Amino acid sequence: MFSLKTFLKNSHCLYKEINNKKKIFALHLKIFFTLIFLLENLYIFAMLNLS
């Protein structure tokens, strides 16, 4: 039997889980972009030194 109470409880748990996943995802994204930024700078530095 479908009841509003269990639905609200489940959606709250789901919301919390999604929020945690979002935080982890954001952290990974930050690390990823930082790495790309560093690699880009390294590449530019190497190009300037080689030319």
**Residue 37: per-residue pLDDT:** 96
d(CA 1, CA 23): 34
DSSP 25-47: HHHHHHHHHHHHHHHHHHHHHHH
**Residue 27: per-residue pLDDT:** 94
Residue 33 lies in a domain: yes
pTM of this prediction? 0.57
Residue 40 lies in a domain: yes
Residue 6 lies in a domain: no
Residue 38 lies in a domain: yes
**Residue 30: per-residue pLDDT:** 96
**Per the structure, how many domains does the chain have?**
1
Residue 31 lies in a domain: yes
Residue 1 lies in a domain: no
pLDDT in tens, 1-51: 578 888 888 888 888 999 999 999 999 999 999 999 999 999 999 999 987
Residue 44 lies in a domain: yes
**Residue 24: per-residue pLDDT:** 92
Residue 28 lies in a domain: yes
What is the domain extent for residue 21? Answer: 13-50
